[in-house]
Homo-oligomer: A and B are copies of this chain.
Amino acid sequence: MTPTTADTDTTRSGQAGIDSAVPEPTSSAELESIMAASADAASAWARVPAAERAVALRAVADRLDARSSDLVTVAREETHLLDGRLTGELTRTTFQLRLFADMLDEGGYLDARVDHADPAWPMGPRPDIRRVLEPIGPVVVFAASNFPFAFSVAGGDTCSALAAGCSVVLKVHSGHPRLSALTGSIVVEALQSVGAPRGLFALIFGTQAGRDALTDPRVKAGSFTGSIPGGRALFDLASSRPEPIPFYGELGSVNPTFVTKASAAARGAEVVSQFIGSFTLGAGQFCTKPGILLVPADSGLIDALRSAELPGAAPLLNDRIQSGYAQVLRELLENSAIQPLSMGDAATAEPPAPTLVATTVAQLLADPDGLVVECFGPTALVVSYEDEAQLLDVARVIDGQLTATIQGEDDDEIAPELIRLLAKKAGRVLWNQWPTGVTVSYAQQHGGPYPATTSPTTTSVGTASITRFLRPVAYQGVPDALLPPALQETNPLGIPRRVDGKLAI
């Protein structure tokens, strides 16, 4: 690894202590210094062998684990989330870093391809040409509010960008600034401990600094997890740059769940209780919360939901989310197509009590824009249908989703067509499971057509997410010693490659 060291000064807290002060917005001068260092670090980091980048990711994971008690304490103070949830999320976050380290060691993510020269290539003689994925350059990551660890400072996009060989400038979410400063300083300390380039990772604070960073010509990609208006504004900014750059925004999703008639008959009570658990998990503050449940009108599930006991009120992440939630819920309740189903006086109170509202599938199909609305918090819309064919109609009209779920029986006649339609709209299709709880694995897909994301061809969770921060480069006729090791003839890295069209492990 390069002999230069990371610089803790690039985080605002200066050291990995717990700072009680909320950091000030990053100034223009500070941002310029951070961006210059990030660009230099990106060049250096891209040259660091993947195996050493893996070591760095593990070092970050180890230091975060070692500080879990402090991290959870600060997170609790800033987010109102419970310790169990926070501890689990931190476990997920450090696991993710280690999983990506393992992926770097394996090397398949490079999609290395070697085409030897072939004078008999049917379209005309083929030169020696070799292709590999390389880091895209400095990345700006906009942290989310609702996952203070897993989608924030040391979260998925930071992990995959660092793994890919990119530098990261992380725009802190205003919902947990002190936790962000602490996490950031631990990340920088860890990177410093293994000799990573100075400026490889830095925090910035404030909306203006975030916009300025995204439009900085040194930045080559952006990522975001948050609301539709916020994400769209940043996407538009990234796209309107003189040099437009990829912007990976994860925005909104209602995550519809479709309960077939057979499923309602066979296991209605289980569906009801599991649904309640899923839509109220974390006070409904998951992007994968099942916000719409379609149930047979004649199944008794409506009554069961009306009479079911819902969990107690729990405080939301912060005042802004509380007021946004209350406003969307009030607008829904003012819609004449919506009836309260299970709702106390505290529906829009602070903290809000979990709430179910209801409509019919005919009303939903008549006004999807008005009724299929993400309400970020503990509310869901129960939609009654008469005929299972109406489930297909709903699948056809909904916008892009992160997830879509079917509660069904294996021999449901509607299942193949419903799955097929939902796969066109959602990044992940579930069967008899619930969308909250997103595992980090090789096959995970967290994405989907707009407005679920601004980039339907990528994922923000799972090992495949590294690809969003990589770009392909081909080398034609380059002498072996001058090729990246991944492409050299003897395959010194021992990675899977596609050689003359054939996969070789």
Contacts and interface: CB of A to CB of B under 8 A. Distances in A.
Contact of A129 (B419, B443, B457, B478): B443
Contacts of A114: 443
A491 interface: no
B136 A123 contact: no
Interface stretch (A208-216, A291-299, A318-326, A426-434): A426-434
Contact of A108 (B416, B456, B481, B498): B498
A289 interface: no
A122 to B, nearest CB: 5
A501 interface: yes
A110 to B, nearest CB: 12
Among the interface residues A137, A451, A455, A474, which one has the most CB atoms of the partner chain B within 10 A?
Answer: A474
A494 interface: no
A468 to B, nearest CB: 7
B443 A474 contact: yes
B442 A500 contact: yes
Interface string A468-485: 101111111111011000
Contacts of A410: 479, 481-482
A162 B443 CA distance: 25
Contacts of A236: 239-240
Nearest to A475: B429
B445 A473 contact: yes
A262 interface: no
Contact of A244 (B92, B415, B454): B454
Given A136-B456, A429-B478, A441-B126, A243 B472 contact: no
Given A47-B420, A472-B464, A449 B243 contact: yes
Task: Report, as a range, how many residues of chain A touch the other chain.
Answer: 35 or more
A113 B442 CA distance: 7
Contact of A450 (B244, B444, B498): B244
A209 to B, nearest CB: 24
A423 interface: yes
A195 to B, nearest CB: 20
A123 B92 contact: yes
A96 B123 contact: yes
B244 A127 contact: no
A440 B464 CA distance: 26
A205 to B, nearest CB: 28
A474 B244 contact: no
A226 to B, nearest CB: 16
B505 A124 contact: no
A124 B471 contact: no
Contact of A468 (B92, B239, B457, B471): B457
Contacts of A58: none
A243 B429 contact: no
A12 interface: no
Nearest to A403: B476
Interface in A116-136: 121-124, 126-127, 129-131, 134, 136
A304 interface: no
A220 B440 CA distance: 28
B472 A129 contact: no
* Nearest 7 A/B pairs, CB to CB: A445-B474, A113-B443, A95-B123, A131-B443, A239-B239, A115-B443, A428-B474
24 contacts: A43-B424, A47-B420, A95-B122, A108-B503, A113-B443, A124-B437, A129-B428, A131-B442, A131-B445, A131-B464, A134-B423, A243-B399, A246-B455, A246-B456, A415-B482, A419-B475, A427-B472, A428-B476, A429-B473, A429-B474, A429-B475, A429-B478, A458-B472, A496-B503
Given A115-B439, A447-B471, 12 more contacts: A91-B124, A111-B464, A121-B439, A123-B439, A131-B442, A410-B479, A419-B478, A429-B478, A430-B478, A431-B475, A443-B474, A457-B467
Interface of A: 43, 46-47, 88, 91-92, 95-96, 98, 102, 106, 108, 111, 113-115, 121-124, 126-127, 129-131, 134, 136-137, 220, 235-236, 239-240, 243-246, 399-400, 410, 415-416, 419-420, 423-424, 426-433, 437, 439-445, 447, 449-451, 454-459, 462-464, 467-468, 470-479, 481-482, 496, 498, 500-501, 503, 505
